[in-house]
Structure 1
Amino acid sequence: MPKEGVKGLGDVAMAYNNAFTLTPYVDEIINRALLYLNAGYPIHLKGPAGTGKTVLAMYIAKLIGKPTTMIFGNEAVETSDMIGSDFGYTKRVVEDNYIHSVHKIMEDYEQKWIDGRIINACEKGYVLIYDEFTRSRPETNNILLSVLEEKVLELPINYYGSNKLLKIHPDFKIIFTSNPEEYTGVYKSQDALVDRFITLELDFPDQNSEVNIAVANSGLSLDKAVNLVSIVRSFREINRSKFLVSLRDSIKLCKIIKTANINIAYDNDVFRKVCIDVLTSGISVQKTNIDRTKIKEELNTIIKVVLMEHK
């Protein structure tokens, strides 16, 4: 059975967010990414959680126009999950009754091999997205070193193909994504692997881009989204070093306000509590000694100031 970290999505490019918003900030990153990929270099999208790395990788893969496969990194992923492994046996039974008085039965067992994601992508020239690859153990990722440098994939001794070295298809491309190394559950990537790709550092988009993304993913009107995104960004700036307030929070907040038709007003107790619930969720999943009462007071002040400024 494949590990949970490796999933078959078929043409995963079709899974990208249909409301993907192409802003100048995103377009500039995409142009550089395609420049490097077309020159034959893998790319690495690195940045905080919630900056849109995965959906951006899917969108870039879609632009390339090749079938795409995906690996989700985690500690359970092993080399055999990516390359392939033995998987059960095939039984063959031959009955010989050519001579009427002699009845022979011959049984033969042959071990079956199941190709992994990397073999298929490398052999057929697919795009491979390795999402959050630094959540996999470094020794698991060592298999990629020869793929990226010598353009061959070394196959295990129990592989039942005709060759033990698989030549990489010239159209094969790989996109890595990762969170910063200080995140829980993230391993430090090997220098040898980092040296083989080009890293694009992602951060949260500019105000206009974040508003457009929130509108596209929530359906909220532009004027209301401006208010909400301004609240999120102001709160993010104050608490950036303490806990995560991501682009996802802007989308969540806009979508909830739109769906529930909540009035955006400082004197609306429901609105203020929704803002607090959404924007302080990151505190509970991170080990911090944060004064929650103080944080809520700061957020209430931000809400009041922003709504007054945008009257």
Structure 2
Amino acid sequence: MAGDSSSRKRKVRGRKIRRDRERKEGRRAKKELARKASQAGDRNGDSPLADPEAVVPEPFVETDTVASLRDRITGWLDADQPVHLIGPTGCGKTALALSAAAERGRPVVWLNGDEAVDTAALVGEHAGGERYEEHDRYVSGVDKKTQIVRQRWVDNPLSVAVREGATLVYNEFSRSDPEAHNVLLSVLEEGVLERPGKRGDDRTLEVHPDFRVILTSNDVEYAGVHRQQDALLDRFVGVHVDFYDEETEREIVAAHVDLSDDDVATIVATTRKLRDELEMVVGTRAAITAAKGVAVFDGASENGTIDEQVLTDVFTDVLAPKIAGQGVDDVDALRSTIAETI
């Protein structure tokens, strides 16, 4: 009997050791899940934070004109004023905004505006749940299972920028629905971001003192542009960005395409003439594209002179998408105007 009693005690003790081990493993799994959930926003590809050096456009031409305009933007940022860059498409607003953001030396958060942007796209939302099971085998032969589901909240660009003191570059700001921007009012006025849909004490975020905003928008007459609420616009400093002077445009084009100085000068001069003649925006981006075309077409340039027919064809191809769907006659009229200007 003594032997039987000893054997029974060993078996009972064995079950207790297994139960203790299982409980420890359950606690470790629970802690690991909590750690992973708390670091969800830091996983590769989930965080919108970028190093300032990584966002500088390449190439970026910095003439005295460009540097002066950028210093004006960073000056307003130093004064804790949100800056709204407004100007025609293709004039270099985005590159200028990124350069100014990088100049601060703070992390940069990028956001591109469009009709799909709503409050959740700005501040964050619940992104599914994480589920795990906890097993309790305290009673021999009985397996009690408990399922635990944890909702995972993912911060979107505005929340990340506010929390980390980053520079938010909001490109094409005026293409987003104005209702989505109501959340910006409390950020800029009260220094607090409310995250609708998030529960608990951290529903609101205190705005980091280094948080800044640079927005870019096309002029109001462009298609797809929304008029934003006056209460918000009153809190911005508006800096109008127009096309640069001819020397700066030549340097920008030359930085993007391997062409002779004479060819670059011809393309930029033609671009500027067409800008005056045509009832459409002919931006610096169009000059860069035209230069790329001249660079690849055989016989386009000889002895520093670009063939006029080739130049006409190139600019027609570059600008024709702006009148897409209007008919062949309109394309012919465009080609005729370009040929006459050249």
Q: Which TM-score band (shorter chain)?
A: 0.7 to 0.9
1:263–1:271 contact (8 Å) kept in structure 2: no
Question: What's 1:246 paired with?
Answer: 283
How has the CA–CA distance of structure 1 residues 102 and 292 changed in structure 2, closer, same or farther, with 3 Å as cutoff?
Answer: closer
Matched pairs, number: 293
- Aligned mate of 1:156, from 196, 199, 208: 196
**Counterpart for residue 224 of structure 1:** 263
Per-residue CA shift, 1:225-264, capped at 9, x if unaligned? 111110111011111xx21211111111112222335216
Match of 1:58 among 66, 73, 98: 98
Q: Deviations over 1:10-40 (max 9, x none)?
A: 4274244211111222112111101100010
Give, in whole Å, the separation in 1 of the partners of 2:156 and 2:57: 26
CA drift at 1:222: 1.7
TM-score normalised per structure 2: 0.80
Closer, same or farther in 2 for the Cα pair 1:179/1:274, shift >3 Å? same
Normalization by structure 1: what TM-score? 0.87
**1:214 is the counterpart of 2:253:** yes
Aligned to 2:296, the other structure's residue is in SS state helix
Q: Which has the larger radius of gyration?
A: 2
Find out whether 1:256 has 2:293 as its counterpart: yes
1:189 to 228, 253, 261: 228
Unmatched segments (≥5 aa) in structure 1: 1-6, 304-311
User: Secondary structure at 2:285's aligned position in 1?
Assistant: helix
Establish whether residue 99 from structure 1 lines up as the match of residue 139 from structure 2.
yes
Residues 62-101 of structure 1 correspond to what in structure 2 (within 5 A)?
62-101=102-141
Cα distance between partner residues in 1 of 2:339 and 2:193 = 56
Q: Kindly tell me: are residues 266 and 209 of structure 1, through their superposed partners in 2, closer, same or farther at Cα, counting changes over 3 Å? A: closer
Structure 2 Cα separation of the partners of residues 213 and 69 of structure 1: 25
Aligned-partner SS, 2:135: strand
Q: Where in structure 2 are the equivalents of 1:8-157 lying within 5 Å? A: 10-11=49-50, 13=52, 14-157=54-197
Residue 340 of structure 2 is aligned to residue 301 of structure 1: yes
The runs of 5 or more residues in structure 2 that have no matched partner are 1-45
Selected match of 2:205 from 136, 142, 166: 166
Give the direction of change, closer, same or farther, for the CA distance of 1:249–1:9 in structure 2 (3 Å limit): farther
CA-CA distance at 1:101 after TM superposition: 4.2
Judge conservation of contact 1:129–1:174 (CA < 8 Å) in 2: yes
RMSD: 2.2
State the partner residue of 2:23. none
Counterpart Cα distance in 2 of 1:289 and 1:137 = 35
Q: Measured at CA, do residues 283 and 98 of structure 1 come closer, stay the same or move farther in structure 2, by a change above 3 Å?
A: same
2:273 is matched with: 234
Matched residue type, 1:114: V
- Identical aligned pairs, as a percentage? 34
Whether the aligned pair in 2 keeps the contact of 1:229 and 1:250 (CA below 8 Å) is yes
SS in 2 for 1:200: strand
